[in-house]
Amino acid sequence: MNAAAERDNTGRTTARRRIAELRDELHHHNHRYYILDDPLISDAEYDLLFRELQGLEEEWPDLLTTDSPTMRVGAPPAPEFESYRHARPMLSLANAFDFDELREWQGRVYRQLDLAGEEVEETDPSLEDVTFLAEPKFDGAAIELVYENGILTAGVTRGDGETGENVTDNVRTIRNVPLRLRQVDRKARSIPALLDVRGEVIMLRSEFDTMNRKRGEAGEQLFANPRNAAAGALRQLDSRVTATRPLTFFAYGIGRIEGLEGKPLERQSEVLKALGGWGFRIADRWLRADSLNGVEEFYRQLVDDRESIPYEADGLVVKVEEFRNQQRLGQVSRSPRWAIAWKFPAQQATTVVEGIEISVGRTGALTPTAVLEPVEVGGVTVSRATLHNREEIERKDVRIGDTVIIQRAGDVIPAVVKVIDEKRKPGTRRFKFPDTCPECGSDAVQPEGEVVVRCVNLSCPAQIKERLFHWGSRDAMDVDGLGEKLVEQLVDCGMVTDPAGLYELKVEDLSLLDRMGEISARNLVEALDRTKQAPLDRFLAALGIRQVGTHVARVLAREFGSLEKIMEADQETLEEIFDIGPEVASQVTAFFSRTENRGLIKRLLTGGVAPQWPPEGAGTGVSPGLDFTGLVFVFTGELEVLTRDEAKRLVESFGGRATSSVSGKTDYVVAGPGAGSKREKAEELGVEIINEAAFLKMIGRA
């Protein structure tokens, strides 16, 4: 080695050592400042250390790593977010709005655990092993953080619970998110090899107010509320913009955990303590209780302190503490049986009802909506509120001209709570609920056992429009170009009366419509043709079966594997499926028992629609000799034959898992043109790299 090379090597070694020291020191000060609120040095001293680290990383760019504190400044804009499938679903919570509903949930928990029959007293000795944990319900944006060997490798939005958006670059800018896990005290548990952390991204009230004040002074548009501001910042394509927003992350749960040394985590309270020990900020107050009496007292305290809490909270999350009991309770549809959200009283405002309008949905339901004098509720201007149904209007005696209290909670549609009788003026008018459909004039009836009034005419234009619009929506068949205006034209001119009619459309017919030239017409026909081979779960969701959304549709597709088997399944068979309850089973069997629905499906199949499961013609189950169970794939670069979503669905249909980050657990990286850092990481880790052609050959589609 010559003298110049030796000096360079010595300098590199010195730089690597100093960079490591600076990173450790800055991580420590970040924890003291953002987690403990107890800084040890001044901002000026911190800035000196930070700038020294930046200088060394600029001088030695190959020593820059993703867990460096300097990564928090953001990266250039991303073209779009990649989808990321959660290893375990991020479930939503059922709600309780009063203590009686919370008691009902507790009763279900006890009965499902078979502890003491139907009637259970909290003093029963069989309940000694059932305790509860209560913690604030943050009103922000739910995310999952993935750590591999203690390093943050992915930050993912909740999405639909099964698949979210990869917003890792944005998450790295959040100051209190650990880029590298640390044992912050001697009692902290060892760092696991793989850890999925669930939590909420929020804006603290004070920081939100400061940010809005500065935006106002600069003449910029103000944000409506901390929740929307946090969610919007998290989904910025340019993470440098995210870095300017004062976001805070609170951790409250764990998805996967592998390689944890010592005693396994057995309780939710142990999870919170472990998360705190690894450097995460957790709720500053939470309660472990043997009964709901203690939970109720905790709830009352939070309600009283609601305005002084430093963050927006919209309720209390109550969980069964013990993991063994959580596992026994399981889940139903998208919600765990072992947890519930006890919501705070919703934010309310007073306004005047200027009118009542009726809309007709795809199932024929006539839904009344109050047209209001605009009023601001929780940072949002509200001019319409649901009245739910006819019985609700009569029970509350809502009249046109009344002064009413309305409320909204989170993203829930505003609702009319009550009429202020003392402010009722002469001249208010009772609303006469129509006995005919306002769209088609057919009879509107209230089926026995229901509170909803429905139009009996399945050919009602309003129902047809809603069904067609739903068919082409993103969560259903995802037909590009089938928007609301086009659907209205197709129905109004009599060209289409049901989804099967969409596949009978010709370019020359569509070209005659307003604002529909030949190119647009051809694009729509081609978009419809592409959906003929749609996955079975999308097809089921598109049919509009009551209570069958994307999750239940996917459960049915995976369980039965073919449309024919689902159509012939009886109530008892459906109820045996873990995620299918009696009500959902009843709706499914009722739908497929109707002659008109079977006729529609027959026309769709005759028209060339052929739902696939597994997707893309892989058969009704795992093909012989092809089983991806336990295999992890990553797709990077451009794919020429498949879309990224199609490729991931194929992997999942054969039992495998498709992720967006490369790790030591990745089995295959499918790399197309333009593959960059993911391919390089795969080479470093020795992960097998194949091209799209090899992947297609692997699944028998070459």
Enzyme catalytic residues: 137
Contact 504, 497 (CB under 8 A): no
Q: How many CB atoms lie within 10 A of CB 263?
A: 8
Tokens of 223: 């944000």
12's CB contacts (< 8 A; 6+ apart) are: 60, 63
Contact 604, 503 (CB under 8 A): yes
Residue by residue, DSSP assigns 487-506 as HHHHHHTTS-SSHHHHTT--
Which residue type occupies 273? K
**In 3D, which of 61, 66, 144 has the Cα closest to residue 662?**
66
Crossing angle between the packed helical segments 99-112 and 292-304, to the nearest 10 degrees: 150
- What is the rounded distance in angstroms from the CA atom of residue 385 to the CA atom of residue 371? 7
CA dihedral sign of residues 522, 523, 525, 529: positive
Crossing angle between the packed helical segments 582-593 and 595-606, to the nearest 10 degrees: 70
**Residues paired with residue 367 on neighbouring β-strands, in sequence order:** 359
481's CB contacts (< 8 A; 6+ apart) are: 520, 523, 524, 527
- What is the rounded distance in angstroms from the CA atom of residue 565 to the CA atom of residue 574? 11
Contact 657, 644 (CB under 8 A): no
Tokens of 189: 């548990």
Q: ∠320-326-329 over CA atoms, to 5°? A: 110
DSSP state at residue 452:
-
If DSSP codes are grouped into helix, strand and coil, which group holds residue 355?
Answer: strand
- What is the rounded distance in angstroms from the CA atom of residue 646 to the CA atom of residue 449? 42
CA distances from 660 to 146, 302, 680 (A): 11, 39, 14
Strand order in the sheet with 248-258: 151-157, 141-148, 194-202, 248-258
259's CB contacts (< 8 A; 6+ apart) are: 192, 193, 194
